[in-house]
A and B are shown apart, each in its own frame.
Chain A
Amino acid sequence: QSVTLSGKVVDSETSDILPGVNILVKGTDRGTTTDLNGEFKLQVSPEDVLVLSFIGYLNKEIQVGNRTSIEVALEYDIETLQEVVVVGYGTQKKKVVTGAISSVSSEDLETLPINNIGQALQGRTSGLTIASNSGQPGEGATIRVRGITTLNNNDPLWIVDGVVVDNGGIGYLNQNDIESIEVLKDAASQAIYGARAAAGVILVTTKSGKSGKITVNYNGYYGSSAPARKLDLLNATEYATLRNESSIAAGNGVIFPDPSSLGAGTDWQDVIFNDNAIRQNHEVSISGGNEVSTFYTSFGYLSQEGIVASDISNYERYNVRLNSTHKINDWITFGQNLGYSREKSVGLGNTNSEYGGPLSSAINLDPITPIYETDPEVLNRAPFTVDSLGAVVAPNGQYYAISPYVQQEMSNPLAYIQTRLGNYGWSNNIVGNAFLEAEPIKGLKIRSTIGIKQSYWGGESYTPVFFLNAATKNNRTSFNRNTNRKTDWNLENTISYTKKIGEHDFSILVGQGAYKDDAAVGVSVTAFGIPADNFDEASLGWSYTAKDTDPGGYENVPHKVSSLFTRLNYNFKEKYLLTAVMRRDGSSNFGSNFRYGYFPSASIGWVASDEDFWPSNKVVNFLKIRGGYGVVGNDQIGKLNFVSTIGGGRNYSFGSSSDSYGLGYSPNSLPNPNLKWEETSQTNIGFEATMLQRLKVNFDWYKKVTNGILQSPDIPGYVGAVNNPAQNIGDMENTGFELELGYNQEIGDFTFSVNGNVSYLQNKVTFLGDGREFLDGGQNFQASTQPITRTAVGQPINSFYGYKILGVFQTQEDVNNHVNSEGKVIQPDAVPGDFIWEDLDDNGEINVDDRDFIGSPVPDWSYGLTVSATYKNFDLTIFGQGVAGNQIFQGLRRLDITGSNYQRAALGRWTGPGTSNDYARLDDVDPNGNFRRPSEFYLEDGDYFRIKNIQLGYTLPESIISVAGINKLRVYVMAENLITFTKYTGFDPEIGGGVFSIDRGIYPQARSIMGGLSLTF
């Protein structure tokens, strides 16, 4: 006998009504949800049990009984506030954390196709600017935490299970092994890592087993990648037309008498791109344990073919991991984490360079040259007729053609591939730690950890005799093998004591650490003239004369740090929060005058929503306001810079007897015993809030100031030293804010969540030394003698610097009318079609003083958005990420090779009055420097938004899989980099590297479509 039960659901504490609460009759699929007034109606029997569930609240079960109306109060799930965060040398309840920390958890990463852990953070955490170094498989990403902190190494400090691992060395990690990643963004959180924390700290924690039944997990995907975009390059007819025009303009006459006869020609991009590059990943993990021991072990395999010249661009990795903990007795625990990886990477050489490689060649080669040479007249000439020159033969027996128009480093990419087949690099990493932790009395923990990173890496390459063109050729075979190794270690001992006295919660940590890294050693041997025709035959096992071998080696001076640190955490009722940190570091990179640095920080927090006066309301359920200030340091400026070292290589050959030449030594640079730490101080103010139960808000504002940046500015040549001495000159400032938002909604079988973050950042250089307005040098571009970037006071670091363009001279009259304030014609030698340069100093001529800051390579805005939805057994996740506010230097065309191909935009060049006001005329000599001068012409907006990943999954119903003893089986399809919204005209707007956003022909990110399976039993 069923009755209609009407009910209302409220919050237990605030009595706020709760709309959207799920109500299910236990053991059935009958149910409903509460309406906007928190009310519901449901047909029930007295014996039914209702299950009420709502995100952020504890589930509640209610026996219906004889009731026909009911009011249920749901309790807020304290667990969500019990969430802990890894903070360095321990964890802290999220609620009482006072620093700015962003976290990524294993659930966020599950099943995503992440090849390098750096990518896992892109778009998922605020405060980070991340760009892949290139689309070459196995390449990492450039990561900047809260902007660029220094002119030196800006790579954050990576700490994996307590082991310091350098940025380049995290490629060994397997994404499925990761439990969580925490980014320490403000000085208050970073200070516990004092000396090396200025560029940010990223803590990676790998998974551990849980006591209970053994769990086996498999996750794998398989799919195919293709280029997302091709450049619009000219075909042969268009190319010939423009080349004629440019040549005639230079007074050199027609090159191609009949352009239209050339047809479309060769599309070199098609030649090198692989539209079906295979990509796969498989991971198996087993975890479990009992009261005494727990373990987590895994095996992973990943392989990826590159989308460019896959034969010489691919990557493979094997991973093994074992993590375990053991309770030796009631109060002593032993644990270890150990990861091993083997990587094999085949790289095509230049991934972002205007100086050759398949991509650069494909962009610049003329479309007239065919892939294979078939013209008998050409084949009758050198190099094809002279075997010893090494014209490259294709597998089909034909010769690869050699362009007569575009040479130097540009070559037939297929021929180039043939010269590099088999070459590869490898790396083996063992990273692990072991710890012993004792808790002799409650609250007192003594912990000793030793961490080691043992790395081995190297490569093998064979170079045949080849003739790619007159400038790119090799006349004897060689084979190189190099091996390198290094052992980094750190030893840390900490004592912590946690005590609660009444409502006062204290925790104090004291620790000591010693670190050694960077002591790499390596040997490299090259044998010349080896009797081998290809990589497989090449060997160092032949006997060579000393003259035919070139042995080399190196040994790095180690970097050592010795530290003492302490941290105090205090809170009253988890309402008033305080954290204070002090660390003292000594570094081997400094002389005894300033060897030690002190890095203090303090931060406070106030959980306002816990105050009695906090109005009980349904808008703001939780609010914590926090702020902090601290100082951290950086010692990364190379070693032995505080002294003057003697350098070799200053040799001179005396005597006519052929085997004598003298080894010369002289000082490398002037000494600087006063060299000291860079200091980065940071103020952070932020709040965390939960609103309407569903919306989480996290906001931070910061100001970060770096003082005493270690630099080796160009000193005048008249000093005569080879190297420039290091000095503490330079200040820089970063200010910005970060906002993270999360929203959840659950309606019946449908759940929905949106997580977004946005970061804004401004960088400004504030001091570069007395009277020094800017640094010499900057990013070079091709043969331009003027750099394209400049680091100057008052400007963001590495700002683009060049000439401003007012338009294109349409007529001679325009040329005559372009005068300075005194009426002097500024560009008297210009002709119609040339760019009108802005005469910034009004001196009546265009020279180096007319350059100005014309753009910034670092984005002002970085943002990410994840939308997830599930319906019954289906799940869908869409993840997008983007940046805004930067410019990209589009330097794809090789300028000093006059025959380089053009992009389609060149068809819109100036050809007569009124034809163009933004693309100058073509002229091989280019007397006005239209294209040779670094100018606004090359800058494009770098804004983009990319749908990074779309994933659709289906979890098989338990009823089906339980038969097979399987707990969970999910199948999914996903697309990576499906769409990129951008106006940028190059391959890819995401360009990392030492300086962001300089496109010299970057290896683009692939678009991949993959299918996968994850299985748990």
Chain B
Amino acid sequence: CSEEFLEVDPIANTLESNYYQTEEEMYAALVASYDPIGWLSGDFVTKLTALNAASDDVYAGGGSSTDVPSLQAVSSYNLTAETGPQSSLWNKGYSGIYRVNTLLVKIEGAEVSEAIKSRYVAEAKFLRAFYYFDLIRLFYSIPLITEPVIPDQMFEVEQDTREAVFKQIEEDLLEAIPNLPDQVNVSVEGGRATKGAAISLLGKVYLELEDYTLAAEQFEKVNGTPGATSPFGYSLLENYADLFRTDNEFNSESIFEVSHSALANGVWDCMPCTEGNIINIMAGPRGYNISNTSAGAPSFVSGYGCFVVTEGLVDAFQLGGGQFDPRYSTTISNVDSLQQAGVVTYEPSYKNTGYFLKKFIGRTEDVTSGGGATELNFPQNNYEMRLADIYLLEAEALVRGGINTTRAQQLLDAVRDRVGLDPVPATFENIMNERRLELAGEGHRWFDLVRTGLAATALKDKGYVEGKHDKLPIPLRELTNTSLVQDPAY
């Protein structure tokens, strides 16, 4: 037979060597670079589920102490190199970085216009910074990879200094910002990086590095005048609850959003391929059933009973005299009391308090009617950064840096005023408390606690050990036959 006989047509497979030629293919590479933002692993770990479980706001909950082991481990600070959310979060970050690095290399040879090229490169650099910023905060000591790894050198990669990683993040963002659009048409491009997102992220990086002046400078560019529409067009939504409506994505308060879709027909066989938001089914109380349909009980789906809200968070919402912070009813559902009132029935979760994370409990009206597993195809987006969050971060930077308390007060007031709360002094403590309530369950709390040194106290009851649990262990797989070393605390 001739040699040709053995050349098989790679049906339904595209070879890398033939790809990355056209604009369409580069767009697919860009989409793939964004994909890990909504990363869901087989162990139910997303950035949001893991960071919530780690915080003092919720317990992992679920059916039992062994349900969703990765989240239980971080919720009770039982982390070991092999158990916990770290391998999923590590893979999320480095998968994104690999795709970004691939895009950056391949776009040089692709037939795309200069305009597209400069925007894609800027987006890729923003994403690389975004992934690295998560990795460096979650793992402390990581390898810095800025090009696709060559097979021969696969096992020789070493951890870099934190300075080098932060420098790269800063550099990527500074290079990205000029070429990113001020705004995007949210109906088709919502979710793609904008100047506002990149500048906010840069501010967060500086804040992490405790460079308060630089941080506040960045945040101010995004925030503009507190309470007004910012230069990039951001403004606080009038109604706090509207932030979490599934029909209100990419609203004026949204700066960078994790986008999900109910249309991708995701199946259990490949959880990372799904586009739905897993937190919706996880947060649903177990066996939730409305027994009195006329009492107006919330239309929650019956779920896995995860993210049981701690008594501590519930207490934080109490204003005294039986009054609750106005954001409470959007944030938390007291399913226990609904059951006691005979309106619903449900099964208690592990570490049950009766309170569940209402912001993210899936609604029956959002259950997909398309193909795939309904559990995996909830559409709700969640915010990586939104204006109120950046207001409070700026306030934090201004107060911690002792820079401008007046503006800090204005920023804090704006956030409180939106929900009808009276001003409180812009102290560090009040700002942190405001962040906790404003952003409860949105995945910021753990980073806030670790960044500000409050973690040891706040998370003590959960088993947090200072000097150890301010980062995750390097996943076991990364240590096997490689040059990486585990954090000494693990």
Q: Which of A's residues lie within 8 Å of B, judged by CB? A: 381-383, 386, 407-408, 470-471, 475, 512, 514, 526, 528-529, 547-550, 554-562, 586-588, 595, 639-640, 643-646, 649-667, 670-672, 714-722, 725, 769, 771-772, 776, 783, 785-786, 847-848, 895-898, 925, 932
Contact = CB atoms under 8 A, between A and B. Distances in A.
A656 B151 contact: no
Given A386-B289, A547-B369, A649-B270, A666 B102 contact: yes
Given A560-B6, A562-B5, A655-B187, A720 B97 contact: yes
Contacts of A663: 28, 31
Contacts of A657: 187-188
Nearest to A389: B289
Contact of A719 (B16, B19, B94, B96): B94
A179 B393 CA distance: 82
Contacts of B99: 650, 666, 720
B115 interface: no
B264 A653 contact: yes
Closest 4 CB pairs of A and B: A720-B98, A550-B371, A664-B31, A664-B32
Contacts of A640: 10, 13, 15
Contact of B264 (A547, A661, A720): A661
B82 interface: yes
Given A588-B7, A644-B16, A667 B102 contact: yes
Nearest to B7: A588
A166 to B, nearest CB: 18
Nearest to B68: A783
B8 A654 contact: no
B63 A408 contact: yes
* Chain B interface category by residue count: 35 or more
B69 A785 contact: yes
Given A557-B11, A658-B263, A651 B31 contact: yes
Contact of A716 (B157, B190, B272): B157
B376 to A, nearest CB: 13
Nearest to A769: B481
B298 interface: no
A783 B264 contact: no
B87 A586 contact: no
B154 A716 contact: yes
A653 B275 contact: yes
Contact of B151 (A725, A783, A785): A725
Given A558-B8, A771-B481, A772-B481, A651 B275 contact: yes
B338 interface: no
A664 to B, nearest CB: 3
A716 B15 contact: no
A1000 B251 CA distance: 50
Contacts of A665: 14, 19, 25, 28-29, 31-32
B392 to A, nearest CB: 25
Nearest to A564: B1
A554 B13 CA distance: 11
Contacts of A408: 63
Contacts of B187: 655-657
B476 to A, nearest CB: 8
Contacts of A666: 29, 32-33, 98-99, 102
B382 interface: no
A555 B151 CA distance: 29
Contacts of B273: 649-651
Interface string B92-124: 001111110110000000000000000000000
Contacts of B15: 640, 643-646
B32 A650 contact: yes
B345 interface: yes
Contacts of A595: 3, 6
B302 interface: yes
B171 to A, nearest CB: 20
30 contacts: A382-B345, A383-B289, A512-B1, A528-B370, A529-B369, A547-B369, A557-B12, A559-B8, A643-B17, A645-B16, A649-B270, A650-B31, A651-B264, A652-B34, A653-B191, A653-B263, A654-B188, A657-B188, A661-B263, A662-B34, A666-B29, A667-B148, A672-B151, A716-B154, A717-B94, A717-B475, A720-B101, A721-B98, A896-B67, A897-B64
Given A550-B265, A665-B28, A645 B477 contact: no
Interface in B374-418: 374, 379
A785 B82 CA distance: 7
Given A639-B8, A650-B99, A662-B31, A655 B189 contact: yes
A670 B151 contact: yes
B477 A716 contact: yes
B210 interface: no
Contacts of B264: 651, 653, 661
Given A661-B275, A715-B154, A650 B35 contact: yes
Contacts of B249: 656
A578 B244 CA distance: 81
Contacts of A556: 11
Interface centre among B259, B264, B481 (most CB of A within 10 A): B481
Contacts of B323: none
Contacts of A382: 287, 289, 291, 345
A66 to B, nearest CB: 75
A653 B260 contact: yes
